[in-house]
Amino acid sequence: MTFEQFTAHINSVVENRFSIENQNDIKTEMLALLPENIGRKQVLRVCRQDSSDTLSRYMKTLLIVAITSDNLRAALQWAALCKEMLLDPETSDVYLFIMWLGDNNPSIEECLRIEANEDFCRKFVLRPSETVESLIERTFLKKVDAPQPLDLGQDPLISAFSGLEEDFGWLDQAEKTRWKEAFNSGASGSDLFDALITHKPENNEAS
């Protein structure tokens, strides 16, 4: 994978979910902090598209770099310097994305160790044989599907009964009505137990 492919995928995900800062001054300053002979780099400054409140309008800073394992320390120092350029609360929203150049890539254990250390910023490291799509799945960039809305018109007891009546033949319409009345009576604890179980009709035996 090339650095261009790596950044192109990250950029496409970002463009679909975030607003990208057009002001380039701070990004230019950040890029200048990493020596040119240390791999490839890109800086993205983004905020949520639905920035209706003040906090969500603060920028997240994505530092994307392609380095050899020998230049890891320089990349971490770069992240620290970039963080120093920011004001709170943006200092807590700095993320370093790392892909490796060359053939001597770190092991999966080393990648996990780098990610576990949150000094300076949160880190996401492209692991051996991992795709950029898989890396994105592990980050805040991944779009979270909204939960399905609840069907407020569906009686939860009816939903529960539909699963029980297959296993318990005695749960006929009359018994379901009795249970519904018990649950709607406001009784709880032992009183509810007595209403449902202790006073259960004798002919209501499990089939």
- Using the predicted structure, report yes or no on whether residue 122 has a pLDDT greater than 90: yes
Q: At what angle do helices 72-84 and 25-33 cross, to 10 degrees?
A: 150
Mean pLDDT value across residues 83-107: 90
Same domain, 171 and 102: no
Instruction: Please indicate whether residue 162 or residue 38 has the higher confidence score (pLDDT).
Output: 38
- What is d(CA 6, CA 93) in angstroms, rounded to the nearest whole number? 21
CA distance between the termini of the chain: 63
Same domain, 124 and 64: yes
In a domain, 205, yes or no: no
54 residue type, one letter: T
- Using the predicted structure, report yes or no on whether residue 108 has a pLDDT greater than 70: yes
Same domain, 104 and 191: no
What pLDDT, in 10s, does the model give residues 56-84? Answer: 468 899 999 999 988 999 999 999 999 99
- Note the Cα 156 to chain centre separation in Å: 30
Instruction: Please indicate whether residue 93 or residue 196 has the higher confidence score (pLDDT).
Output: 93
Same domain, 15 and 97: yes
Same domain, 52 and 85: yes
Instruction: Give this prediction's pTM.
Output: 0.67
Beta-strand ranges (E) seen in 8-55 are 18-20, 40-48
Instruction: Please indicate whether residue 45 or residue 199 has the higher confidence score (pLDDT).
Output: 45
When the pLDDT of each residue in the chain is averaged and rounded to a whole number, the result is 80
Parent domain of 186: 156-198
| Nearest to 46, CA basis, from 32, 29, 66, 26 | 26
Number of domains in the chain: 2
176 in helix, strand or coil? helix
- DSSP structure class, residue 38: S
Residue 62's DSSP bridge partners are 44, 95
In a domain, 147, yes or no: no
In a domain, 38, yes or no: yes
What pLDDT, in 10s, does the model give residues 125-179? Answer: 999 989 999 999 999 888 765 555 545 455 666 666 666 655 666 767 777 777 7
Q: Are 119 and 76 in contact (CB under 8 A)?
A: yes
Q: What is residue 45's predicted lDDT score, i.e. its pLDDT? A: 93
Q: Are 41 and 65 in contact (CB under 8 A)?
A: yes
Q: What is residue 112's predicted lDDT score, i.e. its pLDDT? A: 94
Residue 121 confidence class, pLDDT cut points 50, 70, 90: very high
Burial of 100 (0-12, 13-18, 19+ CB in 10 A): buried
Instruction: Please indicate whether residue 164 or residue 46 has the higher confidence score (pLDDT).
Output: 46
- Note the Cα 143 to chain centre separation in Å: 8
- Using the predicted structure, report yes or no on whether residue 93 has a pLDDT greater than 60: yes
In a domain, 144, yes or no: no
DSSP-derived pairing of the beta strands 122-125 and 94-100: parallel
Q: Report the percentage of the chain scoring pLDDT > 90.
A: 41
Same domain, 16 and 88: yes
In a domain, 111, yes or no: yes
Run of H or E including 6: helix 3-17
